[in-house]
Amino acid sequence: MPGPVAGNQIPALVLPIGTDVFYSAGVQAQWNQWAQLKDSQGNIIFTMSGSGTDPKSIGAGYFHTADTNYTLQIGINNGGSFSQVLWGEARLMMGGVLMCDQYVYAAEDGGGTDYNDTILILQWLKPPPGAPELRRKALAHPGQ
Ligand SMILES: [Ca+2]
């Protein structure tokens, strides 16, 4: 399980191009949690924020990848400061074929050490025929 790293130093996510990626995030935190994903051109794909000491969803949706490198930031107060972030990957295989892939991020905003302030998940299914092969660079970050 790589990390923790600061929420503005999460290694670039490498996603297969031409794929629908589903995302969702939840919080259990008093301070206002914030997460933002951008593509390599700096276009904002999504921004989510919210707080709640009871578990609370702060958003879900999907986007179609037109890029391969994405930058995720997780923090509090609209990016005023950044959380510590753990992440990992779940890969579902069948007959040697990647059928489903998922990145999960758990963030600690500094109010404790439990890493339960924000949980964010990105997941996608087997890329369509002809899509470039999924690259593994995202989780091959030195220091993991
Ligand atoms: Ca905490």
What CATH code is carried by the domain that includes residue 61? Answer: 2.60.120.400
Distance from residue 12's CA to the centre of ligand 1 (Å): 24
- Within a domain: 138: no
Residue-level pLDDT, tens digit, the chain, 144 residues = 688 999 999 999 999 888 899 999 999 999 999 999 999 999 999 999 999 999 999 999 999 999 999 999 999 999 999 999 999 999 999 999 889 999 999 999 998 899 999 999 999 998 656 655 444 333 333 333
Residue located via tokens 């779940």: 90
* pLDDT tens for each residue of 102-124: 999 999 999 889 999 999 999 99
- Are the C-beta atoms of 118 and 109 separated by less than 8 Å? yes
Name the residue among 3, 22, 18 with its Cα closest to residue 134: 18
- Within a domain: 137: no
Distance from residue 79's CA to the centre of ligand 1 (Å): 17
Distance from residue 81's CA to the centre of ligand 1 (Å): 14
- Are the C-beta atoms of 10 and 74 separated by less than 8 Å? yes
- Within a domain: 135: no
Task: Provide the number of structural domains found in the chain.
Answer: 1
| DSSP secondary structure code for residue 77 in this structure | T
- Within a domain: 108: yes
Distance from residue 34's CA to the centre of ligand 1 (Å): 14
- Within a domain: 141: no
Q: For residue 113, give its domain range.
A: 5-130
pLDDT at residue 128, as a whole number: 58
Using the Cα atoms of residue 8, residue 13, residue 18 and residue 20 in order, give the sign of their dihedral.
negative
